């Protein structure tokens, strides 16, 4: 690593993605290094979910190359690679009445439900308990999934994703369904996570600038399947660039580490 640069966790080079005959992504370049916390932002239909699928080794590019944790997609065993990627999806399709501890333990097998005849070893149990405590879920250890609030579920899913000690954590619209108080608690949890695991790289997808934690370091604006801007978050999340990406006048404010957005004045000549 030249000049002491942090280890590369993700690298996408000149990536195109075509579904049937529709061009979803075009010419995507992205490098994420250890300890960086990226925000991926853009309007509906911009290609964010498809890009997250590539980052999570759940899809392959039509053209270009994707390297995840040093392995190129198409030349590595995908199932094994996914064990090193944490993925937090608030639409987690669990329906069984699992306890918080059981939900977290499913992170060891990468399954939605507990696997039959599988028994976690003691180090796995100890790590699950550590994460439950770290994420403020200790008092809910025996709560069951159907009765938990969306905020409690979100923190449980972070613990689940962290169980295998991944180098990369993907957060796909993690604030979906949260009220303001639950959202703020969730974002505080993310900031705490970045403090306690400074080498962990994260990529968070959202439509809303208010849903970015203060620990966000980098951002990418994507529109019409192409990168509109990418780099350090304060340089990317500006009124001008966000307005261009969303094709609507938006005023962006950045105070005390948090972003906010509201409708701006239309530019008329």
User: According to the model, what pLDDT value does residue 179 have?
Assistant: 87
Query: pTM score, two decimals?
Result: 0.87
Residue 244 phi, psi (nearest 5): -65, -40
pLDDT at 269 over 60: no
The CA–CA distances, whole Å, from 213 to 78, 99, 137, 250, 259 equal 30, 28, 20, 20, 9
Structure confidence by residue, pLDDT tens digits, 181-207: 888 988 998 898 889 889 999 999 998
Rounded average pLDDT over 128-137:
89
190: its two tokens: 């993310």
Q: What integer best gives the mean pLDDT of the chain?
A: 90
| Region of residue 54 (phi > 0: left; psi between -120 and 50: alpha; otherwise: beta) | alpha
Kindly report the three-state secondary structure assignment for every residue of the chain.
Answer: CHHHCCCEEEEEEEEEEEECCEEEEEEEEEEEECCCEEEEECCCCCCHHHHHHHHCCCCCCCEEEEEECCEECCCCCHHHHHCCEEEECCCCCCCCCCEHHHHHHHHHCCCCCCCCCCCCCHHHHHHHHHHHHHCCCHHHCCCEHHHCCHHHHHHHHHHHHHCCCCCEEEEECCCCCCCHHHHHHHHHHHHHHHHHCCCCEEEEEECCHHHCCCCCCEEEEEECCEEEEEEEHHHHCCHHHHHHHHCCCEEEEEECCEEEEEECCCCCC
For residues 215 and 4, which has the higher predicted lDDT (pLDDT)? 215
pLDDT at 21 over 70: yes
pLDDT at 44 over 70: yes
User: According to the model, what pLDDT value does residue 266 have?
Assistant: 62
User: According to the model, what pLDDT value does residue 3 have?
Assistant: 52
Question: Nearest 5°: CA angle at 155, between 171 and 222?
Answer: 15
Structure confidence by residue, pLDDT tens digits, 55-90: 988 889 999 999 999 899 988 888 778 878 888 887
What gap in Å lies between CA 188 and CA 129, rounded to an integer? Answer: 20
Q: Do the bridges between strand 258-263 and strand 250-255 make them parallel or antiparallel, or are there none, so unpaired?
A: antiparallel
Structure confidence by residue, pLDDT tens digits, 144-153: 999 998 888 9
Place of tokens 């069984």: 96
pLDDT at 267 over 70: no
For residues 76 and 162, which has the higher predicted lDDT (pLDDT)? 162
Structure confidence by residue, pLDDT tens digits, 211-248: 999 999 999 999 999 999 999 999 999 999 999 999 99
User: According to the model, what pLDDT value does residue 1 have?
Assistant: 45
Residue 81 phi, psi (nearest 5): -65, -40
User: Which among 10-19, 47-56, 106-115 has the top mean pLDDT?
Assistant: 10-19
User: According to the model, what pLDDT value does residue 126 have?
Assistant: 95
Residues of the chain above pLDDT 70, percent: 97
For residues 94 and 29, which has the higher predicted lDDT (pLDDT)? 29
Domains detected in the chain:
1-34+41-84+200-269 (3.40.50.300)
pLDDT at 2 over 50: no
130: its two tokens: 């550590």
């Amino acid at each position: 690593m030249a000049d002491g640069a942090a280890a590369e966790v993700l690298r996408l080079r000149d990536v195109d993605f075509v579904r049937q005959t529709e061009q979803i992504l075009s010419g995507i370049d992205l490098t994420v290094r250890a300890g960086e916390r990226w925000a991926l932002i853009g309007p509906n239909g911009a290609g964010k979910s498809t890009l997250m699928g590539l980052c999570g080794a759940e899809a392959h590019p039509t053209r270009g190359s994707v390297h995840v944790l040093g392995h190129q997609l198409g030349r590595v065993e995908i199932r094994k690679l996914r064990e090193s990627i944490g993925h937090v999806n608030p639409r987690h399709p669990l329906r069984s009445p699992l306890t918080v501890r059981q939900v977290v333990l499913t992170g060891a097998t990468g399954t939605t439900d507990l696997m039959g005849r599988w028994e976690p070893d003691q180090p796995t149990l100890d790590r699950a308990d550590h994460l439950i405590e770290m994420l403020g879920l200790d008092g809910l250890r025996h709560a069951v999934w159907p009765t938990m609030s969306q905020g409690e579920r979100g923190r449980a899913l972070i613990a689940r994703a962290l169980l295998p000690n991944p180098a990369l954590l993907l957060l796909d619209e993690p604030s979906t369904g949260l009220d303001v108080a639950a959202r703020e608690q969730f974002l505080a949890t993310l900031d705490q996570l970045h403090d306690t695991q400074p080498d962990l790289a994260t990529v968070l997808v959202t439509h809303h600038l208010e849903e970015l934690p203060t620990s966000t370091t980098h951002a990418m604006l994507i529109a019409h399947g192409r990168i509109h801007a990418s780099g350090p978050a304060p340089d990317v999340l500006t009124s001008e660039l966000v307005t261009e990406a969303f094709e609507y006048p938006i005023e962006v404010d950045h105070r005390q580490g948090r972003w906010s957005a509201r409708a701006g004045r239309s530019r008329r000549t």
